[in-house]
Chain A
Amino acid sequence: MARYLVTRAWHSALTLLLSTVVVFLGVRALPGDPALALAGEDRSPEALEAIRHHYGLDQPLPLQFAQYVERIVQGDFGVSIRTGIPVSSMLTTALPVTVELSVLAILLATALGVGAGVLAAVRRGRPAEWLANGLALVGLSVPHFWLGLLAILYLSVAAGLFPASGFVPLLQDPVGNLHHIVLPAVILGTGLAAIIMRQTRSAMLDALSSDHVRTAKAKGLRPRAVITRHALRNSLIVVVTIVGLQLGGLISGAVVTEQIFGLPGFGKMTIDAVFQRDYPVIQAVVLLTATAYIVINFLVDLLYSVIDPRIRVTGDPA
């Protein structure tokens, strides 16, 4: 297991380095000149030159990259070209919002999706299954932003149950924080919940008709033990995979959801930065997203071997 971890960590580090290169070059391949964007009215060659020199944009690319990596390692993502605020401090305010939103959305979606999926499989051909299938179809087909707008309109404005927009930091006011973030998290999680529900349902149907579930029944176990210990546990691989794969969709969904609910998270920061060619911010955002992906993939792989002992990795003595 230790050897596996080391190999896997090494692969992750390599992927991370590669994604840094891609991010660095990718941003510079975008059309548009940040100096032009910053210069405003004064577009004289001298002014542009001065801006380029100030931000190190006149250096050769490899040198820029080397300096970039060196700074990242020290936790310095540079200074936003647009606002002049250090990117790291922008991240410390924006990141917790997005992380909280995403984590809550994943938790809600998993709980709802797995629960409904199991129910639909166990109560196959009965009203509970139809209801779960119908809800999943709605969750899959209705776009977030529309659901979000509806929720604001009816739940926040008309019924006054939730605030329509805004955010309170978690540490400042936990209850108020939850009150603000629950609705966006539910909206963000609907699509994921629907996907998880459908996958759980089909995995459970497979598992419930498998030979080892018949064995479990023949042992005289209670239905609950048969369903959770012998069918659900074997279906979890699917759920974990889906959650891991859907994370990209969740991050882009978070951008939209944050816009709708006016949450001061990653999403708004990213959109502003792209429009302004704010290289340091874009680099930081993309790099963090890539890091999140890599870390989550790593965790998913680890979870696999926890859930299913057959996926114990080369080098691990049986």
Chain B
Amino acid sequence: MTTVERAAAASSAVGTPVLEVRDLSVTFTTEGGTVSAVDRVSLDLASGEIVGMVGESGCGKSVTAMSIAGLLPDSARISGSVRLEGTELVGARESVLRRVRGKEIAYIFQEPMTSLNPVLTVGRQIGEVLQVHERMSRRAARARAVELLSLVGIPSAAKRVDNYPHQLSGGMRQRVMIAMAVACGPKVLVADEPTTALDVTVQAGILQVLRDLRDRLGTTILVITHDLGVIADIADRVVVMYAGRVVERAQVTDLFAHPYHRYTAGLLAASPTPGKHAGTERLQEIPGLVPVLSTQPDACTFADRCPAADEQCLDSAPPLEVVRTGSAVPVTDHLAACWHPCPTPRTQPQETTA
């Protein structure tokens, strides 16, 4: 399928899930016992949409992302289902997964310095994907690498293609990573903290590249970040994760306007808002840390850090469902897993979502 056809197909088919994640659970066996990293996460990625996944360090975002294409180490035990256009990936044979990786589902990682091989030229590293999946010759792959480098906005790509990663700046390296990821026109692009290691101006450029890819190639993108600013900037929908569970899921504007889960509300309150906090008001922090769980309890795992927690929160885990509070008309695609959702929706200034 050419890129044009794919873009056309994408725009007509927005809403069909490309990737369906159902009840995905991941536990690790370590020397200190088992660790439950992801607990029954469900998630749909529609064609051509950008979904943000947000949460603190250790909440299971990256593990979820890695498990999609089976990239976790052998010590991980995965259950549940990940379907790419109907094809089951959990428990699939390595040879099947290898054909999916890089071709159908591609990754961008946080540290472009360490994520690129220091001893190979960037052209070679991009070309490798094409040689494997498109059976291109080394020469053709190199030529295509030059095109891809210009596609992601690298100037004088014909020269840069023979550079080694250490000869490029951080932003350029991340563009190389993106070029590598989109080389085979993947259906899904998983960007794990794509801008965390970059400074803010470079960050904006990288997010623009991702948006362009979605607009031009119809790529579905899952952006994983702890930075709400990135989510507000790029995502259509948001999934909030806490201690391995999805605690809230909504359209990005709805979430920023009315966070229901107490954890989401806490995250938003801990982010600075222009004007509001100028020198007078302290940012609110969420007390405590994300717990490391050996098993998932039948309780709200946020309860011990939550201002609204009561016995019900410790007795049973709240389901992820549409929230009905008071007289407000429920938003059907805004779900939260909370027994005591925030009653009066916090209103966020429009700047954050712009």
Do the beta carbons of B99 and A212 come within 8 Å of each other? Answer: no
The 8 Å CB contact of A218, one of B71, B99, B166, is: B71
Question: Which of B19-27, B100-108, B265-273 faces chain A?
Answer: B100-108
Within 8 A of B (CB), among A109-153: none
Question: Which of A7-15, A42-50, A172-180, A303-311 faces chain B?
Answer: A303-311
Q: With A218-B106, A220-B100 known to touch, is A310 a contact of B180 (CB < 8 Å)?
A: no
Verify if A215 is at the interface (C-beta below 8 Å from B).
yes
Chain A residues whose CB sits within 8 angstroms of the CB of B129 once the complex forms: 219-220
Do the beta carbons of B101 and A220 come within 8 Å of each other? Answer: yes
Q: With A214-B71, A220-B98 known to touch, is A234 a contact of B117 (CB < 8 Å)?
A: yes
Verify if A233 is at the interface (C-beta below 8 Å from B).
yes
How far is B167's CA from A85's CA once the two chains are assembled, in angstroms?
A: 58
Q: How large is the interface on A (under 10, 10 to 19, 20 to 34, 35 or more residues)?
A: 20 to 34
Do the beta carbons of B109 and A220 come within 8 Å of each other? Answer: no
| Chain A nearest CB, measured from B248 CB (Å) | 28
Q: Give the A-B pair count, Cβ closer than 8 A.
A: 77
Do the beta carbons of A216 and B117 come within 8 Å of each other? Answer: yes
Verify if A217 is at the interface (C-beta below 8 Å from B).
yes
With both beta carbons as reference points, the residue of chain B lying nearest to A307 in the complex is identified as: B119
Q: With A221-B128, A310-B164 known to touch, is A215 a contact of B101 (CB < 8 Å)?
A: no
Chain B residues whose CB sits within 8 angstroms of the CB of A225 once the complex forms: 128, 132
Verify if B144 is at the interface (C-beta below 8 Å from A).
no
Verify if B319 is at the interface (C-beta below 8 Å from A).
no
Verify if B154 is at the interface (C-beta below 8 Å from A).
no
The 8 Å CB contact of B114, one of A211, A219, A233, is: A211
Verify if B111 is at the interface (C-beta below 8 Å from A).
yes
Verify if A28 is at the interface (C-beta below 8 Å from B).
no
| Chain A nearest CB, measured from B145 CB (Å) | 13
B residues with CB within 8 A of A? 69, 71, 97-103, 106-107, 109, 111, 114-120, 128-129, 132-133, 164, 166-167, 177, 180
A residues with CB within 8 A of B? 210-212, 214-222, 225, 229-230, 233-234, 307-310, 318
10 closest A-B pairs (Cβ-Cβ)? A220-B102, A220-B101, A219-B102, A211-B114, A218-B107, A212-B117, A211-B115, A309-B164, A220-B98, A215-B115
